[in-house]
Amino acid sequence: MRLFKTPRFFRLIFPNKTWGFSRLENTVYLTFDDGPDPEVTPWILDQLKEKEILATFFCVGANVQLHPEIYQRIINDGHSIGNHSMNHENGLRTSNQVYYSSIEQASKLIDSNLFRPPYGRMSLSQTKRLKRNYKIIMWSWLSYDFDEKTSIETILNKAKQQIKGGDILVLHDNPKSFNRIKILLPQLIDCVEKKQFEFKRITV
């Protein structure tokens, strides 16, 4: 079973993380994880520019190092950026020392106090430590753009049913998702706009 919508009790169990914003908002927040990628990210940026939409990109430090010009374009286009670690480590499978070092390395390339843990997984001790310097951004709606077992039709039906004001939506600018996101992103944007929500980037 795929959980597109993050259960509300997660906000109670993990109050030190941002899972979404007020439902009273007439706003939805598009976020993209794992880039920059030389093929996927420019395509997404072109789509967003055409629609005059601002989003938030949680970047992997190693990819920023490889593609600094694309990272700079994200910033130049007016989008927000966030730290997604240096090498996309799973916090629950990584020692604290290695995990903190990865994030610190990435911070030298990514000037942001927004952080999203890769895979959405980190320990309570890691959360407590990182909360000192970062706003930990999670999500309230997951697109499953990376999962070929989940049809685009299913994703869009769930979007129509579930996306509300204040939601943080997660997509990915990585090669694994590219074939699907080319179909999904324009229709997802259309779906949100038909609900008369605005898109905004995440800022602190």
CATH (residue range 9-199)? 3.20.20.370
What is the pLDDT at residue 24? 75
Catalytic residue among 79, 84, 88, 172: 172
What is the pLDDT at residue 113? 97
Written as six digits, the tokens of 49 are 């520019």
For the question of residue 33 being annotated catalytic, the response is yes
Q: Is the bond into 186 cis (omega within 30 degrees of 0)?
A: no
Kindly tell me the burial class for residue 46, based on how many C-beta atoms sit within 10 Å of its own C-beta (0-12, 13-18, 19 or more): exposed
What is the pLDDT at residue 43? 98
pTM tops 0.85, yes or no: yes
What is the pLDDT at residue 88? 97
Catalytic residue among 33, 34, 145, 167: 33
Q: What is the pLDDT of residues 89-101, one digit of tens each?
A: 999 999 999 999 9
What is the Cα–Cα distance from 44 to 49, expressed in whole angstroms?
9
For the question of residue 147 being annotated catalytic, the response is no
Catalogue the E-assigned strands of 93-174. Answer: 114-115, 135-136, 141-142, 168-172
Task: Show Cβ contacts of residue 42 under 8 Å, excluding neighbours closer than 6 positions.
Answer: 70, 73
Q: Which residues of the chain have pLDDT under 50?
A: none
Question: Is the sign of the CA dihedral 85, 38, 80, 190 positive or negative?
Answer: negative
What is the Cα–Cα distance from 28 to 182, expressed in whole angstroms?
20
